[in-house]
Amino acid sequence: MNLSNNWIRVLAAIIIVMPSLIQAQNVSITLSEAVESYKENSLERALVRLEQDRKIGEAISYKAFPNPELSIFHENLNAGSPNYDETTIQISQPLEILGQPFLRNKSSSALNSAAESEFQFKEEQLIGELKSLYVYYWFLSERLRVVENALTVVNEARKSAIARKEEGAFSGMQIQRFNIEYSKYQKLYDKIRSDLNLSRNKLMLLIFPDLDESSSIEFVEEFGIKTISETKDSFVEYALQNRSDLQQLKSLIEASELQYRVEKKERFPDLNLNLGYKNQSNGSEGFVIGGSIKLPIFNQNKGKIQTARSEYRMQTSTLALAKRSLKNEVYNAYEEVAFLGNQWETIQDFSSNKSILETAQIAYQESQYSLLELLDATEAYLTGQTLYYQTIKEYNQALFELDVVSGGKLFSNN
């Protein structure tokens, strides 16, 4: 009896706890949460970060000061007897006396800034692609629901027609027409569901690449139309001040200009300072001081000077071209948003299109609509709702693109 009571308690506990365990596995992800998770888990972003680290390492190597050289000499100078030898300990240190270490250090800092700006720009592009995929998944979800509604109406009408065929209310041709329409919507439904699963898998790989397959993730962000009031010139001005790729080019110009100055100074020889200590077997000892320079007879560093000068000019020209291209990019993205915003003014009335399907279904059941009128209403519902959600999707994708090309003026990648 006690054993039975224990089993009853265990089962009751399981029944009570199980819903909370199931609920714990269902995670709702908004767009901002998806972005944060992407920053933490994305392998693509990790590769971009590693590329940044590599370039920072190169910058550190560029500014490194040359190491000193330690030398030890022992000379055995026997000429019969008595024995005679001497030992010399010497340290040699190259000295760049024209300010090259200072210039290299500033150039290295500029290279670090360029690497950081490059990472930020690539991250902004990756996040923009993630947002675009997220809103595309939302669009497919809404479209699947719309097609499912149309499919349900056609299927119910088809079943009703088949059931009433014996009464002579419907001909075989009408039944065939229902079958064709049903197959058409079923094929469209299967295609959208396949695309939806594909986009979901892409999102999951980007946001949670190592997530257990048993976990259930639900993307819950809802999208609408967010109008913009700023002028396109304000977007251009903001982009010129904040675009990370422009900041990268400015830093590269600073770094290459400093490197050019370093190479020009390298035409002149560096001083190699030698400090040492000498001990002789006869008891004599003392410090040794010396120096040396390389004579710039054959190599006056002309090749590296020309390379550094060309690099500086190339970066300067690249920045000028980038500014021109930026203006076109912002204008095109802004015009796309404005075009879709104007299109929305005429399309948003399609939101009332949702009631068309229900009205047509009731009218058909009451014999107020014919077969063709029901099918036309169903097609109108599907077309109107698809255009409605597609416009919202394209508008938000255009906003995300405008945000990227303007340097984060709209969302700042949040």
Token pair 């150039």 is found at: 107
* Length, in residues, of the chain: 414
Pairing of β 216-219 and β 69-76: unpaired
CA distance 197 to 190: 11
The residue with greater pLDDT, 398 or 220, is 398
Residue at token pair 């706890």: 17
pLDDT tens track for 143-197: 999 999 999 888 887 787 776 666 665 667 777 887 888 899 999 999 999 999 9
**209: three-class secondary structure by DSSP:** coil
Q: Which of 185-194, 279-288, 323-332 has the lowest mean pLDDT?
A: 279-288
AA identity, residue 385: Q
Greatest C-alpha distance within the chain = 138
C-alpha–C-alpha distance, residues 146 and 140, integer Å: 10
Instruction: Determine contact, residues 319/247, Cβ cutoff 8 Å.
Output: no
Taking 50 as the threshold, does the pLDDT of residue 348 lie above it? yes
CATH level 2 (architecture), domain 24-64+96-266+301-405: Up-down Bundle (1.20)
The pLDDT of residue 164 is 66
| CA 170 – CA 371 distance, rounded (Å) | 10
- Mean pLDDT is lowest, of 43-47, 99-103, 169-173, 390-394, for 169-173
Domain boundary assignment for the chain: 24-64+96-266+301-405
pLDDT digits (tens, 9 = 90+) for 198-229: 999 999 988 988 776 556 778 888 999 988 88
User: Tokens 């399309």 correspond to what residue?
Assistant: 347
Task: Establish how many alpha carbons lie within 13 A of residue 164's alpha carbon, considering only the half-sphere containing its beta carbon.
Answer: 11
On average, the pLDDT of the chain sits at 84
Q: Are 59 and 116 in contact (CB under 8 A)?
A: no
- Residue 72, exposed/middle/buried by CB under 10 A (0-12, 13-18, 19+)? exposed
- The residue ranking higher by pLDDT, 346 or 240, is 240
Q: How far apart are CA 298 and CA 255, in angstroms?
A: 28
Q: Are 98 and 268 in contact (CB under 8 A)?
A: yes
pLDDT at position 18, please?
44
- Residue 179 contacts by C-beta under 8 Å, 6 or more apart in sequence? 158
Report yes or no: 391 and 340 within 8 Å, Cβ to Cβ: yes
pLDDT band at 100 (very low <50, low <70, confident <90, very high): confident
Reference 411, options 32, 28, 29; nearest CA is: 32
pLDDT, mean of residues 243-258: 94
pTM as predicted: 0.81
Partners of 285 in beta bridges: 279
Torsions phi, psi of 253, nearest 5?
Answer: -65, -45
3-state secondary structure of 49: helix
pLDDT value of position 17:
42
Q: Could you read off the pLDDT of 18-70 as tens digits, one per residue?
A: 444 434 456 788 999 999 999 998 889 999 999 999 999 999 888 887 888 88
The pLDDT score that the predictor gives to residue 402 is 95
pLDDT of res. 167 = 63
Mention every residue, 6+ apart, whose C-beta is less than 8 A from residue 257. Answer: 312
Helices 302-347 and 244-265 pack at an angle, to 10 degrees, of 170
By percentage, how much of the chain surpasses pLDDT 90?
A: 44
Average pLDDT over every residue of 278-300: 78
Q: Parallel, antiparallel, or unpaired for β 85-95 and 216-219?
A: unpaired
Q: Which of the four pLDDT bands, split at 50, 70 and 90, describes residue 353?
A: low
* Residue 58 or 284, more confident: 58
The pLDDT of 79-83, averaged and rounded, is 61
Query: Poorest-confidence range of 14-18, 83-87, 218-222?
Result: 14-18
Name the residue among 344, 123, 322, 349 with its Cα closest to residue 228: 344
Rounded Cα–Cα distance for residues 216 and 303 (Å): 61
Pairing relationship of beta strands 26-29 and 85-95 according to DSSP bridges: unpaired
